[in-house]
Amino acid sequence: MRPRFPTLLSWPGRACALAVLTAALAGCASSPPKDATANWSPNKLYAEAMDERAAGNYDKAIQYFEKLEGRAAGTPLAQQAQLEKAYTHYKNGEPAQALATLDRFMRLHPTSPALDYALYLKGLVNFNDNLGLFGFISQQDLSERDQKAAKDSFEAFKQLVERFPDSRYAADARQRMVYIVNALAQSEVHIARYYFRRGAYVAAINRAQLAIRDYPNAPANEEALYLLYKSYEALGMEQQAHDARRVLELNFPQSTLLTRGLTIDRGPWWRLW
């Protein structure tokens, strides 16, 4: 006689379990969403991704570029997909994702013929990230913002022009480097002026000297020298004040700071580059 095993569920419990099992089986039976790109060739996938980006559909374009990376792995098209994805992140206002993609590209493909473009794009992402979306509207220039992105941007452009001096992107990179250097100098002068106007003359001197030492050819040095002169004068350090004024007059003979002070509107310094 076959032994009987104990019944663990009452009839209502068995009915409930059966219902749950039926629902689970139905869920398993349903097929996952079909990938519309499954039968596309890598070239078609690339073309569709570019079309989506041109239409402003950045999220869809990024998805296509990611698929292309996998399908064309080990080919130049996969490298192109990585760079295009980075640029699309940049256009979509996602600088962190763009930079992560570019760093990964440069790590995986250190000898790629497109390395100059990767460095240029990295510099550009940081350059525009520092300016900010509303920088133009608020008339707040780069020198008044956090300087980490500016320094990262400068470093990327510097690598580009040093390693690839004949690159098609080198000339623009050099111009942007000039802008960044001027902005960093002006940033120090902003801080020096802040201290000067609050009577913190030693702190103003330190910041002005930093601008002059680190960025010797920047237009902001005119004001830096003036702040040095006036800060030394306020501290009763007559010889240092005299020396600072002499250097200011020698290097900026047309300066109006000595006659009109800091009250004048000096205009957007960045128009100089």
- List, for residues 49-100, the tens digit of each pLDDT value: 999 999 999 999 999 999 999 999 999 999 999 999 999 999 999 999 999 9
Look at residue 4 in the predicted model and tell me its pLDDT.
43
CATH number at residue 64: 1.25.40.10
Cα(65)–Cα(37) distance, integer angstroms: 12
Of 32 and 122, the one with more pLDDT: 122
In a domain, 238, yes or no: no
> The tokens of 189 are what?
């002068």
Q: How far is the C-alpha of 198 from the C-alpha of 246, rounded, in Å? A: 25
Q: What is the percentage of the chain residues whose pLDDT exceeds 90?
A: 68
Q: Would residue 93 count as lying in a domain?
A: yes
pLDDT, the chain, mean: 83
Confidence check: pLDDT of 205 > 70? yes
Question: Does 54 fall in a domain?
Answer: yes
Residue 138 domain-assigned (yes or no): no
In angstroms, the Cα distances linking 245 to 77, 87, 131, 176 are 60, 48, 34, 31
Handedness of CA 110, 111, 114, 115 (dihedral sign): positive
Number of compact structural domains in the chain: 1
- Domain contains 260: no
Overall average pLDDT of the 34-57 stretch: 92
Helix/strand/coil (H/E/C) assignment for every residue in 103-157: HHHHHHCCCCCCHHHHHHHHHHHHHHHHHCCCHHHHCCCHHHCCCHHHHHHHHHH
Asked if residue 24 belongs to a domain, the reply is no
Quote the domain boundaries for residue 45.
40-111
Q: pTM of the entire structure?
A: 0.74
Whether 104 is covered by a domain: the verdict is yes
- Cβ-contact 221, 272 below 8 angstroms: no
Mean pLDDT along residues 117-124:
97
Residue 72 lies in a domain: yes
